[in-house]
A and B are shown apart, each in its own frame.
Chain A
């Protein structure tokens, strides 16, 4: 018998992760919410966590994230994702519980719930999208809006004398003993996207190891409300957000510090 072997001529290098649902998202073209979703889903796939993960979605542009991820999911009230996640995690300490929240949800209306989840050292992971604006309601000033940035509710530019300065969530939460992991990453180019993914992977690992509260702040774009093309918006993240929001590891558990740390650039 003669067997003819056919050599493979190509290999699969990258495909859409299983933890993302097949559904088309409602996000605007070029919105990095989609990128962040993909990264989280890739990490869930790679750590084989899809079947043991519970997502708590928030209110804002990412309100439908509960159906964009193919995992068990809840939709929390505005700002309350960390409280809801606490309830879920306390009932299922052996499951992976994460929230996906924007800056209005987490840093404005939900700051108390977020801070106290960190203070309790709640063993959950928070994916925090900072795009310096309220997206869903149409581009109002967020607590993360840059000084001087024009929004529909700061039409003359954010006046820090009237509204204060942008809130630095990663630094703020790093100061809390219950926080095990707090870093800031960006998604403005491929290299930074890959660094963001690594951080998300570390955050979930922190939770798997039961080390406490973990948060990854992701600098993101909002082309629609910034009134830019998607590529212009990414340049705006690089040129305007990075100087205000330095990337870096603000807190990393000692046991994980041997791994290569993200570069502050």
Chain B
């Protein structure tokens, strides 16, 4: 006997992990070059990527498109599909960190920007290396704290 939650859009779970890998690399370069124009451009680009994934949908997320068009077709079919809602929520969390980073850069607070980038990088790395969604874990804690 099992009570099911409602059905949702499904995706190949390797897509978000590929995206997490690219995100980790992009943000690592942004950290190494912190304070430069290149760093700002990379953070802005990553903000756009997260924004597309979170607001429009995972099908519009650039790294997801690369995975579906180029990587996925060359791999064996996925063993199981996964719900699209958790990775999409993670994109929204990433967008928040990138927004904080961009605002900090605009205000000249490079160190604060680097911390925000570092937190997003840690989350993306956990996703890529361990298939672990940090933003998803924070969701229930956030609900517990905010909803009476």
Partners in one complex: no
